[in-house]
Every structure is written in structure tokens, then in C-alpha cells.
Amino acid sequence: MDRRNDEVAALLQEYADLLAITGDDAFKVRVYEKAARSVAGYAGNIAELDADGLRRIPNVGSSIAGKIEEYLRTGVIHALEELRAKVPAGVRRLTTIPALGPKKAMVLYKELGVDSVEALEKAIREGRLNGLRGFGPKTEENLLHGIEVMHKTGRRVHIDVAARVAEQIVAELSAVPGCDRCAYVGSLRRMRDTIGDVDVLATADDSAALMAAFTTSPLAAEVIASGGTKSSIRTRDGLQVDLRVVPDDAWGAALQYFTGSKAHNIHTRQIALHQGLKLSEYGLFDTETGEKIVSADEEEVYARLGLPWIPPPLREDTGEIEAAQRGELPDLVTLADIKGDLHTHTDLTDGVASLEEMVAAAAGRGYAYYAVTDHAPNLYMQRMTDEKALAQREHLRKLAEAYPDMRLLHGTELNIDPEGNVDWPGEFLATFDLCIASVHSHFTLPRAEMTRRLVRACENPYVTILGHPTARLIGSREPIDADWDEVFRACARTRTVLEIDAFPDRLDLPADLIRRALAHDVLFAVDSDAHAVPHLDVMRYGVGTAQRGWLTADRVINTWPVDRLLEFLRSR
Ligand code: DGT
Ligand code: CA
Ligand code: CA
Ligand code: ZN
């Protein structure tokens, strides 16, 4: 049976959003949000559960179980349809304008019939907001600015863009005399695949000096807000950076709070409350005495709550707190565990650096092995031929003599055609050390055909790695649609390795699918897919994504020592 978890999770989340817009109480909104996350993270297939089984999913009570059952049986949730009828889609979009909350959006709709961002812009310009309660001239100005920003930067940025900005700001602030500690927090510390805004936290005796340095940073194209403990700037690309300065004795608690996620915080705060503690952005307090509990670091905060320290990439309230309570947190793969890169390109196809340059850079990183995997002939614009591939192999073998400590592998990135076939005949594929197979065309096949296509590629005995499996390009191409559990089962059966392509616009497999694949007992490879020397550095984003997928090092083949890796490649 098809897995329906994501579909149902999306509906529950939509229900929560609509409850918030129509002014239902915040508690109820949160109940549905939590249920949505639990359903999305549930390992089994919810379509196979009865009412009892549904109720056993964490955060799913009988009313929500009833709605899920109704949906699985009839294809609609009556209560959701009712709310949808009350709130047009355009009004929901309005709530994403900075400075416009759900309540005000609903007032605009009810009083003026404003049902889209465009309609709001027009209403403001025509002066129709004049006299509307809660909408002064200052609000109008904020709204117009919010709309402008939304038009310009409606989307979240790739993680590397945010990381560069964050690292520069942290370096600038750390150099200010009197700055004790400074770090970036928020979604970037959790290694999310896209970042809404950058959050930076610091401690200092003199917060004014830090704020001055921040608002006059070369990165600040605009100062959005500036205060004693909190300021915000916007970079020229439209990325917002928030800085908070906290007292030194609140560092641990503030670090924990601003790292988030919000859902993780809500859960940890509940645990604190049960123990007579109050956890907030201002610190950890004894509820009765009001006394502040010194929290020099996060370990102390978690220890006070009776928990081990939880790595930030896990902090999404998708089971990490329960795992921590049971002492079953995974020992996550780290960048230091990575011993080599198994997917890279050169200027023989679409890379921009030569083989010598790429190999020298790889050796500079201390890798124990490195695979060159240029594109195969069916990607016509790359103009690959048998002769070119063989000449490159010859070249690589000669170069290897200069790198006795790094094993050079000659591979290729094949193209999976719509039927699941790949470039070159088997005899030729057998001469490579390693073959990756990826989807580079026909992204919109129907699900069943797409699934068959990927499964066939896995069944090809020469294919070792399924490259960037969903083929998504973050912000510009949707992931292909396949029955992923079926694909993961095929990977497990054929011992085909799933790639986690570390390139910031791919991050593919995405973390939620990694976690799902884990349940199928498959192996992974975290690869840079580098097309230039600096791209070798993107490995860290792939590792972050692997961490968000709860991966341990033993599941990642390029953490293995060279002998074990070669043995594995040979056995295929
Ligand atoms: P983003 O910026 O959309 O990529 O995601 P975050 O997670 O960086 O979110 P952001 O920038 O709004 O807030 C940074 C952190 O501050 C967030 O991860 C958790 C904490 N935080 C923000 N708002 C709330 C809140 O209303 N309640 C709680 N408990 N924590 C919050
Ligand atoms: Ca943020
Ligand atoms: Ca923020
Ligand atoms: Zn590719």
C-alpha cells in the first residue's frame, strides 16, 4: 500500500495554520502542529493502521485519529474543508508578509475583502486602510516595506549563502574588544537545508560596542532595528541577520533557546516546568524562588533537565527528546569521520578544474581515497567518449604515483534513462572502479514508472551508488515523485548505496528521506559532487544533512578505511 504519511501530515499542518488564522486558541493550534510532525516522522505506513493503531502514534489523540481515518476512507476531512471555505488561499499567503499576523490578515479580508498580496498593496495605495482599527500610517508603511521585501526575497537562502554571512559576522564581532563569546544559532546551527534568517548570539560586558560593530558591518546594507540587546540588519542579498547580546551567566540557556527549533524548545520547556524550572531566552530559573540558575554551557542546561546534550541537527522534536530520555541518541557521523570523496568532476566534462588540480586539493584535505566520476556519453552536451574516459584513467594511474597516501579511483556518473538503463555496455562499466547512476532528465514520469526506473538502476550490477536520488534543485526544481520505500527496499536488496549529495542546492537525499531509508537497512555515501576546487568544502553540508537524518558513521561507506571500501567495491 502507498505510504500516505506525508500527505496526511501536510493536511494536519494546513489545519493548524487555518485554526491560527481564524483565531482558534493557540493550544489547539499546537496540538495539530505536533500531530503533523509525528505523522510525518512515523516509521510505519499510517494507511495500514486502524483507529487504535493511529491513536498509538505520539501526539495523535482520538479526535485527530478520527480525522485521519476519515481522510483515508473518504479522501476528505470535513472540518478542514469547512475551514478552507472560510479562508481563501490568498489570505493565507498574506500572513507570510513580515509585520502581518493572522489576526490582522483576517481583519483585512473581512473588512475590505483583501484576499491577496496584490489586493493589499492596492488597498494601501488607494488609502482604503485609513480609519481601519489597528492600522495606523506606521503600520501601512511597515506593510508596504514587508511586501517589497517579500517580493525581493520571498524565498529562503541556500545554507552556504547563510553560512558565509554568519561566519563573517561572528568573526567581526569576536574581534570587538570586550566580546566574550559569539556563535551563530537558529536553523543554520541545526544545519537545515534552507535558512530563513541568520541568528547570532553573543555575550559582552559592553553590549553597545558590539551593537555598533554589528550595525556598521560591511555586510549591513540596511539596519532593520537597533537596540541594547537585539538588533537586525539586512545584507545586500536581502538576507536578515539578528544579533542578541545576553549576560554571560545566561549563555548556555540562550544558546539552547535560540538554536531552536521552536518545537524542540516547547518540548524542553515543558520538561523544565515538570521539574519546577522555567527555561526561557533569559535563562534557566527556579520557578518558586525566581533564582537564576547559572548555565555556562548547553550541557548544563540539558543535564538540569535530566537529558544528555542533544546535537543541534536533531533538535526538531521528531523523537530526539524521547531518544535522549531512553539514552538512545545516535552517535552521529561527523566531518572528521569522512575519509574520502566518491563523486567529483573535472574539466573533462562540466567541471572547471583539471584532474591535477582536483586531486592535489583532495590530497590537501588529507583524504585516504578520492574518486573522479565525470559524466557519461548520454549526457550529450558533455561530449564524453570511450577514448576520453580511457585516457583519463591512464592519466589518473600515472598521477597516483605522486600520491602514495591517497588511493585514486576511476569512476563515472551514468545517466539513468526513462526505462532505468544507463550509458555504456556492461563490459565497459566493469572496467571502472566505481559507477554512480543519476537522473538527469525526464523528471516528471508518473510515480509508478519513476519507481520502476530507479529500481532497475539499482538492479544493474555495475551501479554502486544512486546519485542525488530525488534530483531536486532547492528553489528551482521539485524532487521527482517515486515510491521511496520501494526504492529503498531495492537498495537494501541489491546493496546499492544511496548518495547524500552535499552540494548546497541539492542536499539530496534530503534528511527526512534519509531517516526513512535508515529503517530499510541501506548504506549511504556523502559526496561533494564538486565541479571546482572550492566545492570540495561543501562536504560539511552533506554531513549536516546526514546528521539531520540521524546517520551514524558505520552506515556511511566513505567513513570506512580504504581497505574496507575497496573490498566493498570489489564485491559488487
Ligand atoms: P529560520 O530562520 O526560518 O530558518 O528558522 P529558525 O529556527 O532560525 O527560526 P527563527 O530565526 O525564527 O528563530 C530562531 C530560534 O529562536 C528558533 O529556532 C527558536 C527560537 N524561537 C523563535 N521564536 C520562538 C518562539 O516563539 N518560541 C520558542 N520557544 N522559541 C522561539
Ligand atoms: Ca533563523
Ligand atoms: Ca531570527
Ligand atoms: Zn549529477
Alpha-carbon gap, residue 370 to 355, rounded angstroms: 11
For the Cβ of 197 lying below 6 angstroms from any atom of ligand 1, the answer is: yes
Ion ligand 2: residues, CB < 5 A? 186-187, 197, 199
Q: Which amino acid is at 317?
A: D
Q: Is 510 in the pocket of ligand 1 (CB under 6 A)?
A: no
Give the C-alpha separation, 193 to 110, whole Å: 37
Q: Whose CA is nearest to atom 25 of ligand 1?
A: 262
CA 346 – CA 408 distance, rounded (Å): 14
Whether the Cβ atoms of residue 286 and residue 277 lie closer than 8 Å to each other: yes
Per the DSSP assignment, residues forming a β-bridge with 184 are: 200
> What CA dihedral angle connects 77, 81, 87 and 90, to 10 degrees?
90
All domains in the chain, ordered by first residue: 5-153 (1.10.150.110), 157-246 (3.30.460.10), 251-326 (3.30.210.10), 335-571 (3.20.20.140)
Residue-by-residue pLDDT tens, the chain, 572 positions: 466 887 898 899 889 988 988 888 888 998 999 898 888 777 788 888 988 899 998 889 999 999 999 998 888 899 998 888 888 777 877 877 767 877 888 889 888 889 888 889 999 988 999 888 888 888 888 888 888 767 765 568 999 999 999 999 999 999 999 999 999 999 999 999 999 999 999 998 889 999 999 999 999 988 999 999 999 999 877 899 999 999 888 899 999 999 999 999 999 999 999 999 999 888 889 999 999 887 889 999 999 999 999 999 999 999 999 999 999 999 999 999 999 999 999 999 988 889 999 999 999 999 999 999 999 998 877 789 999 999 999 999 999 999 999 999 999 999 999 999 999 999 999 999 999 999 999 999 999 999 999 999 999 999 999 999 999 988 778 899 999 999 999 999 999 999 999 999 999 999 999 999 999 999 999 999 999 898 999 999 999 999 999 999 999 999 999 999 999 999 97
Strand, coil or helix: 556: strand
Mutate to test the pocket of ligand 1, among 244, 259, 262, 273 (most ligand atoms within 8 A of CB): 262
> How many whole angstroms from 185 Cα to the centroid of ligand 3?
9
User: Distance (Å, rounded) from C-alpha 265 to C-alpha 348?
Assistant: 49
pLDDT on residue 1? 46
Q: What share of the chain is helix, strand, coil (3-state, %, to 5)?
A: 50, 15, 35
* pLDDT at residue number 202: 97
Residues around the ion ligand 4 (C-beta < 5 A):
438
Kindly report the pTM of this predicted structure: 0.78
Is 199 touching ligand 1 by the criterion CB < 6 Å?
yes
Question: What Cα–Cα distance (Å) separates residue 20 from each residue in 106, 156, 265, 388?
Answer: 10, 23, 20, 60
Is the minimum distance from the CB of 470 to ligand 1 under 6 angstroms? no
Q: How far apart are CA 140 and CA 184, in angstroms?
A: 33
CA 241 to ligand 3 center in whole angstroms: 7
Residue ranges of E strands in 337-485: 340-341, 369-375, 407-415, 434-438, 465-466
Full strand arrangement of the beta sheet holding 179-184:
179-184, 198-204, 240-246, 230-234, 222-226
Q: Is 262 in the pocket of ligand 1 (CB under 6 A)?
A: yes
Alpha-carbon span 140 to 142, nearest angstrom: 5
- 6 alpha carbon – ligand 4 mean position (Å): 26
From the CB of 323, is ligand 1 less than 6 Å away?
no
Ligand 1 pocket: which of 199, 271, 314 to mutate (most atoms <8 Å of CB)? 199
Residue 370 Cα, ligand 1 centroid: separation in angstroms? 39
pLDDT at res. 152: 61
Residue whose Cα lies nearest atom 13 of ligand 1: it is 186
467 lines ligand 1 (CB under 6 A): no
Is the distance from the beta carbon of residue 193 to the nearest atom of ligand 1 less than 6 Å? no
The answer, yes or no, to whether any atom of ligand 1 lies below 6 A from the CB of 549, is: no
Give yes or no for a contact between 135 and 129, defined as CB atoms under 8 angstroms apart. yes
Distance of CA 2 from the midpoint of ligand 4 (Å): 28
- Cα of 97 vs centre of ligand 4, distance in Å, is 36
Answer whether 184 contacts ligand 1 (Cβ < 6 A). Answer: no
User: What pLDDT sits at residue 300?
Assistant: 93
Q: Are 279 and 252 in contact (CB under 8 A)?
A: no
